[in-house]
Structure 1
């Protein structure tokens, strides 16, 4: 016999957007049910943001220890290290378990009912949970199913062909790894595997790495790839994999086919909204390409049906989904809200890290804006020197007439931690004089932020 439940807010998907919406709704006293077919936390906590950063940390520690075994200008010498990748994966899994357990505890604390199962939409007010013998009626339906990896038909997953999910739980480090795709996912994992001892090659159809970012920003990362011995095959298209010879067939710009030897091939060519397998078509919503079309309140074309996060298209960022989820919960509670951030930070956890917030010089000029652009190199920053990380810079983009800051970009060690200051300055409408006149602690990487603003005004102090 089928059980029927009723609730004010029903959320499909327990990733960053869905669980944050549920927590906020619970805080606001909204009766809320959340349906999740897998583990709470979604891609980000389980097979994305968190585990990838954990593996990157393991790789960096192993790489540095290996470097010290070969002699170091710091005066540190150690025996050549060994790697127990099984233990590394256990440590990574422990972090994931703690975070997902924390999410479950927060949902329970805020009286959110979590149902584990696969949702199937009947209509805008009704959802069935397959395998649970349950039907749920709701006033508001929030769609937060996230995204899935894009697969290549000529490289079906299985055996030596893996996605980022398998790459984050290795049982051994392959001797030869080919990464297909030089976007942020491919390069983050490619660099990590190289530091863990794999012979890494990267195949990219475009003419440069990280094609979404300008070449000035990506140059320090290209230098790291060269130092690590990562081979780049730019403007090469993939034709297929021959398991008999363990070779990836690629076509170079001249139309010649090359056979690249590989023990594993990591397919990292992007992600797409997860719209299949849960009867989304029953709603006949307006679409924006492969994504659900939403307005500035995350409302779909159907009243009281909302969509957030990757399901609603770019930018596919966990922190965007979280902010949208919080907002939708407040809208359901009757508050007046719109999702109109000045900028959302994008971060690549490559080596070195890369951050983009707001408009780049190219974007500002394409909009016909007269801008001031200034860089401050980490080579002139004392803290960067003490970290043995002098490559990279901070760049500011501001209007020429009133000095309103339009964007920040940075590449260098630890610059992901500057992203909050960048975004905050844009949200608060800061001008170059505001940043230049703020006393920044010394010695910190953040001093490069102040110096970039000073340089845009024509008087950098340490350059």
Structure 2
């Protein structure tokens, strides 16, 4: 049995794990990282990156289709488009492959030892890794658990054949003619909208009263409108009950208690994700849990000395950028730096059409902790850049304290607003006031001007509405 020793061992090479390992290597820490699958984890291989590639391809296809139907204001006409979905997948896979190679190169540059295989704890300082060449023992002074999450499977809709997960949806050989989506959250709607644009007849089944329930209704209204325009049927307050006897339809009970059969070639189940805590031998180290998640403090320390945990395995929000920030922080703590988790906000983005961004507190959340607030909303219908792109649906909304005007939250819905999330987050992290945002010169014509205008609106002197 081979054996190696290192100062830091990272289990899992997803966004949190590989960032932690790279930063540790940069700081001169002898580091090893173990990954059973491909470098980059869920996000890079079967999540964030490939889904955005499919979403972009779908947008391009739908745009050309609109030109062919002469349903555009630009005076542009074109022939009816055709789709080679296999080529689309090859393009998507090429992007993933390039990023895989990039992560491998960065780990090598940071002098991190990469061990491919499945790790199992022997104790708090030792893991056994099952590799292609046999078992390898790794002893480390410090261990970081970054094992991520996996799609939740429903007992009456087991994954396989007709019933697929988000991972399966990104590897389909062809666009399904009829797609039923169980779950109207961000994953279900992102993929549902993409497949609708590629030609699928899509039905979304959501148990809650409305889609994207984690966002406020005002923010999601433009998305609901767009679903109708794309021909997507959204059944809210409805419950999926299983497949039909022939397996060619989804059985659904609507809000009134009536039963329906939704014809479907594929049923995409997107009802959440669960932390991957089984199979790693965690029972050997007896960590304190927070429900299904590993309990951590503000330095990502677990209940066992020398063992840290980061990313999805530690709870909500299950977002790659949260995991990355935690990974960087832990690496610096191991190097002896004084760090703690003191982030004011973590941006949440839904890559639907239109896109939805939420950073910090919503108006209702702000009201629960502040006696009085100011809210400024600027619609893209009054924004020159949005008009020139023929994408006027949506708005930017700023939430601030009424007494000192400190910005508490920023939300937006509209075409391409995901790219504004960094500016929103920076304003909150820097403790900006409405006057700071309003007093910053925003380039014209851009959609970002809506941020300044929303702040001006909250101050009571909007210029363009």
Q: Fold conserved (TM > 0.5)? A: yes
Q: Which residue of 2 aligns with 1:414?
A: 416
Q: Distance in 1 between matches of 2:259 and 2:236?
A: 14
Contact 2:370 2:401 in 1 (8 A): no
CA-based RMSD of the aligned residues comes to 0.8
Which residue of the other structure, out of 216, 219, 234, is the alignment partner of 1:217?
219
3-state SS of the aligned residue for 2:194?
A: helix
Q: Distance in 2 between matches of 1:369 and 1:46?
A: 45
- Could you give the per-residue CA deviations for residues 199-254 of structure 1, whole angstroms, max 9, x where no partner exists? 00000100100010100000000000010010011111111112515111111222
Contact 2:223 2:352 in 1 (8 A): yes
Deviation at 1:368, TM superposition (A): 3.8
State how 1:46-65 maps to structure 2 within 5 Å.
46-65=45-64
Q: Distance in 2 between matches of 1:191 and 1:259?
A: 21
Q: Which residue of 1 aligns with 2:34?
A: 35
1:113 aligns to 2:93 (yes or no): no
3-state SS of the aligned residue for 1:38?
A: coil
Which residue of the other structure, out of 412, 422, 429, is the alignment partner of 1:427?
429
State how 1:158-173 maps to structure 2 within 5 Å.
158-173=160-175
Deviation at 1:31, TM superposition (A): 0.3
Deviation at 1:278, TM superposition (A): 1.3
Q: Which residue of 1 aligns with 2:74?
A: 74
Contact 2:162 2:247 in 1 (8 A): no
TM-score, normalized by length of structure 2? Answer: 0.98
- How many pairs are equivalent? 462
Range that drifts further, 269-278 or 78-87: 269-278
Deviation at 1:166, TM superposition (A): 1.2
Q: Which residue of 2 aligns with 1:84?
A: 84
Q: Which residue of 2 aligns with 1:328?
A: 330
Contact 1:85 1:170 in 2 (8 A): no
Contact 1:191 1:350 in 2 (8 A): yes
1:392 aligns to 2:388 (yes or no): no
3-state SS of the aligned residue for 2:115?
A: strand
Q: Which residue of 1 aligns with 2:94?
A: 94
State how 1:115-264 maps to structure 2 within 5 Å.
115-131=115-131, 132-242=134-244, 244=246, 246-264=248-266
Q: Distance in 1 between matches of 2:377 and 2:9?
A: 47
TM-score, normalized by length of structure 1? Answer: 0.99
Q: Which residue of 2 aligns with 1:9?
A: 8
Stretches of structure 2 lacking an aligned partner (at least 5 in a row): none
1:19 aligns to 2:18 (yes or no): yes
Runs of 4+ in structure 1 over 3 Å off: none
3-state SS of the aligned residue for 2:122?
A: strand
Contact 1:186 1:268 in 2 (8 A): yes
Range that drifts further, 273-282 or 15-24: 273-282
3-state SS of the aligned residue for 2:63?
A: helix
